[in-house]
Amino acid sequence: MGWLTGDKALVLIPCGAEEGLCRGNATSKQISELEGQLLSMRNLLSSQAVFVHSLAEGVSLDLLSNDQEDSTSEDTSNDSKELSKIEIWLVEFLDTLEVLLAEKRVEEALTALEEGEKIVEEANLRQTLNQSALLSLQTTITEQRQKLADQLAETMSQSSTRGVDLRSAVLALKKLGDGPRAHTLLLNSHQKKLETNMRSLRSPTTLCGGAYTTALSKLVFSTIAQATSDSLGAFGEEPAYASELVTWAVKQTETLALHLKRQVLVSSAASGGLRVAAECVHICLGHCCLLEARGLALCSVLLRLFRPLIEQALSANLKRIEQSSAALAAADDWSLVHPLGTRTFGSTASLGSLNASQPKLSISAHKFNSMVQDFLEDVGPLESLQLDSLTLEGVQQVFNSYVNLLIHALPGSTENEENLEGLGNKIVRIAETEAQQIALLANASLLADEILPRAALKLLPLQQTNNRMLETPKISPADRQSRVPEQREWKRRLQRSVDRLRDSFCRQHALDLIFTEDGDTRLTAQMYTNIDLSADEPEWFPSPIFQALFVKLTRIASIATDMFVGRERFATVLLIRLLETVILWLSNDQNFWEEIEAGPQPLGPLGLQQFYLDMEFVLLFSSQGRFLSRNLHQVIRTIIDRAVEAVEATGIDPYRSLPEGDWFAEVAQIAIKMLTGTTNFGDVERDVTSPTASSIYSHGSN
């Protein structure tokens, strides 16, 4: 092959090529291309020759200026040899660098550039090159460095670049002094691959359950983890790079959250699909927690974006519970049964154990319980969202709504319908019998006292699971301790809802006792003031209204005891409250006491004795039934004293006419036996001044 000279090219062509030239026009094209390549080589060599000559001239001028007066022929010979070495090195350096860059041999190119920089540094120190030559050499090296950097950047920008090649390119670009660019390109490369993989992921409509969420979450957080590893491996924990990494990771996390909101959470939250939403959040938090070991705490980003939709799902779910409970209450017959699917056992011990573990509720209460259990189970894994207060408040609200339905089921509750919040046009089946009405109380009491508080334990922090992917951020011990009083207060609010139902029940039954269907009262002052107007000896026996009170309480106690097996406390509280309602009504009845204390017919000794007997009768049967509260005992003693004072105000000594000893207790006890059908009259002796068997029997039969 020959060199190009002038405008014409003298080319030494092999014999085979010369023969091909003679074959036709097709070969002439190949020759033209070859001529073009040779022309390019000539231009390259010419430019290199010019560069080398300029360097040589610079060295010559430098040497001449330094040794102008003492130069000899021997020195000139040495300088020529030195120039020859520089020319040879420069040609080889540029040729080698061109080849290395063309073949993308990065490490060798870096080594060559470092060698060139050392030569420049030595030339600068020894001043073997003038300023223009030195600047020209530096410019050439800088241009080649930039060319290599651009090649590396292009490699990193390609999605097909493998992880190993990507990391090598990052390190090489960092060695070239372009660390910030290398770090940015590293993150961009991971982001492009992530976007490509996300597009190739199947849509949520084709993946069942949480498979789509799992796949997407794993893809995003594994990419963040790999980017973090690459960043730390190349740049360590330098603040500037760490800050850029965190910003990038937050952006990817936000993109994931927004994508899941559109694809999964919005529809499920609107429809009340709490389980789907909870599963989505739980999966993402599980993957996100794995990054905390690498110093990336991204859970707060997810929580901030997910929380509004989870709250929406909570509200929709609670609304569904409320609506479903109302629909079932409209058809509930208010009979208590065990949960469906519960088997009965033959032995009494087994049955008692079953009753304790599986309480009997009505159909609507069982459904309410089932829905709340599912609701709390779905919320439980989301402890890191700190939804405890919101969840407990929601459960308390739906329970309060359910209690309103139970109150509405009591006979006569329509008169107080304006006091029941949120009922609207809901229809509830009325509980006609006392057993059905007590079943309403059983529903509310068991739910508030046992079932719901036990279900709320699902909101406590979960034990650490073996599957690290399902772990969520742990709650601190201080937070756990703060939840205990919160749940206690929540349980007290549930109890206050039950108290409203119990008060409604007791008020209704007290009114049935005190008033007739026509609205007349059965408990009047005339019951006592008119006794002293009669010339006949009274037949000492508790007044009819207190007999009816005793019978009602006895009947309710029997029903409640059967319903509250193993939970007699509920029955006791009900009896206490019902008795207190009647006695407090008597204590607060201003018309009654105005007639007793200042009426036209004052209370006399016999009337006081009858009133005293009625109150002692109440004290006795409530004490024997174990539903006499301290408050009730104090109220009864207070109204007895008030009646005594009313007699004293007339100038009569009440204690002279009142029987002594255990007379009141004996008469009250005989009355209890008669009313319960356990009286034996064989041993009862007649006494003019004390109740007789015949008089008792006569009074009791009227």
- Domain parsing of the chain, residue ranges: 4-63+79-157, 174-311, 321-512, 526-701
Tell me what the mean pLDDT of segment 73-78 comes to.
49
Mean pLDDT over the full length of the chain: 77
Tell me what the mean pLDDT of segment 47-53 comes to.
52
Among 293-297, 433-437, 440-444, which stretch is predicted with the lowest mean pLDDT? 293-297
pLDDT at 242 over 70: yes
Higher pLDDT, 545 or 38: 545
pLDDT at 74 over 50: no
Note whether 397 and 340 are within 8 A (CB): no
pTM, rounded to two decimals = 0.70
pLDDT at 466 over 90: no
Tell me what the mean pLDDT of segment 154-163 comes to.
76
pLDDT at 80 over 70: no
Q: What is the pLDDT of residue 144?
A: 72
Note whether 448 and 494 are within 8 A (CB): yes
- Phi and psi for 387 in degrees, rounded to 5? -95, 10
Tell me what the mean pLDDT of segment 281-303 comes to.
86
The proportion of the chain whose per-residue pLDDT surpasses 90, expressed as a percent, equals: 37
Q: Give the whole-angstrom CA distance, residue 269 versus residue 121.
A: 68
Q: What is the pLDDT of residue 472?
A: 47
Tell me what the mean pLDDT of segment 580-601 comes to.
93
Q: What would you report as the CA-atom Rg of the chain, rounded to the nearest whole angstrom?
A: 50
The proportion of the chain whose per-residue pLDDT surpasses 70, expressed as a percent, equals: 70
pLDDT tier, 357 (very low <50, low <70, confident <90, very high otherwise)? low
Q: Give the whole-angstrom CA distance, residue 692 versus residue 684.
A: 7
Q: What is the pLDDT of residue 2?
A: 39
Q: What is the pLDDT of residue 206?
A: 56
pLDDT tier, 580 (very low <50, low <70, confident <90, very high otherwise)? very high
pLDDT at 550 over 50: yes
Q: What is the pLDDT of residue 277?
A: 80
User: Mind listing the pLDDT tens digit for each residue in 406-415?
Assistant: 999 999 865 4
Q: What is the pLDDT of residue 58?
A: 45
Higher pLDDT, 282 or 218: 218
pLDDT tier, 76 (very low <50, low <70, confident <90, very high otherwise)? very low
Among 462-476, 544-558, 666-680, which stretch is predicted with the lowest mean pLDDT? 462-476
Alpha helix ranges (H) inside 127-265: 131-157, 163-175, 179-200, 211-235, 239-260
Higher pLDDT, 231 or 346: 231
Q: What is the pLDDT of residue 91?
A: 66
Tell me what the mean pLDDT of segment 21-36 comes to.
53
DSSP state for residue 631 in the 8-state scheme: H
User: Mind listing the pLDDT tens digit for each residue in 193-232?
Assistant: 999 888 888 666 656 557 888 899 999 999 999 999 898 8
pLDDT at 342 over 60: no
Note whether 182 and 170 are within 8 A (CB): yes
Tell me what the mean pLDDT of segment 620-647 comes to.
95
Which of 496, 326, 303, 487 lies closest to 391, judged by CA? 487
Note whether 301 and 258 are within 8 A (CB): no
Tell me what the mean pLDDT of segment 44-68 comes to.
47
Q: What is the pLDDT of residue 17?
A: 41
pLDDT tier, 162 (very low <50, low <70, confident <90, very high otherwise)? confident
Tell me what the mean pLDDT of segment 416-423 comes to.
51
Among 206-220, 365-379, 396-410, 660-674, which stretch is predicted with the lowest mean pLDDT? 206-220
Which of 435, 572, 568, 409 lies closest to 504, judged by CA? 409
Q: What is the pLDDT of residue 62?
A: 45
pLDDT tier, 464 (very low <50, low <70, confident <90, very high otherwise)? very low
- Phi and psi for 690 in degrees, rounded to 5? -130, 160
pLDDT at 611 over 60: yes
User: Mind listing the pLDDT tens digit for each residue in 495-507?
Assistant: 999 999 999 999 9
Element (H, E) at 441: helix 434-446
pLDDT at 352 over 50: no
Among 12-21, 41-50, 244-253, 412-421, which stretch is predicted with the lowest mean pLDDT? 12-21
pLDDT at 129 over 60: yes
pLDDT at 651 over 80: yes
Q: What is the pLDDT of residue 701?
A: 35
Tell me what the mean pLDDT of segment 359-366 comes to.
93
pLDDT at 334 over 80: yes
Which of 208, 192, 209 lies closest to 200, judged by CA? 192
Among 24-33, 304-313, 356-365, 538-547, which stretch is predicted with the lowest mean pLDDT? 24-33
Note whether 543 and 615 are within 8 A (CB): no
Q: What is the pLDDT of residue 233?
A: 86
Among 95-99, 159-163, 281-285, which stretch is predicted with the lowest mean pLDDT? 95-99
Give SS3 for 8.
Answer: strand
pLDDT tier, 321 (very low <50, low <70, confident <90, very high otherwise)? very high
Q: Name residue 8's beta-bridge partners.
A: 5
| Degrees to nearest 5, angle at CA 112 with 107 and 115 | 130
pLDDT tier, 83 (very low <50, low <70, confident <90, very high otherwise)? low
Higher pLDDT, 588 or 33: 588
pLDDT at 523 over 60: yes
pLDDT at 688 over 80: no
Q: What is the pLDDT of residue 696?
A: 36
Tell me what the mean pLDDT of segment 572-579 comes to.
96
Q: What is the pLDDT of residue 444?
A: 96
Among 69-78, 130-139, 172-181, 221-230, which stretch is predicted with the lowest mean pLDDT? 69-78
pLDDT at 348 over 90: no
Alpha helix ranges (H) inside 290-345: 299-329
pLDDT at 349 over 90: no
Task: Tally the residues of the chain.
Answer: 702
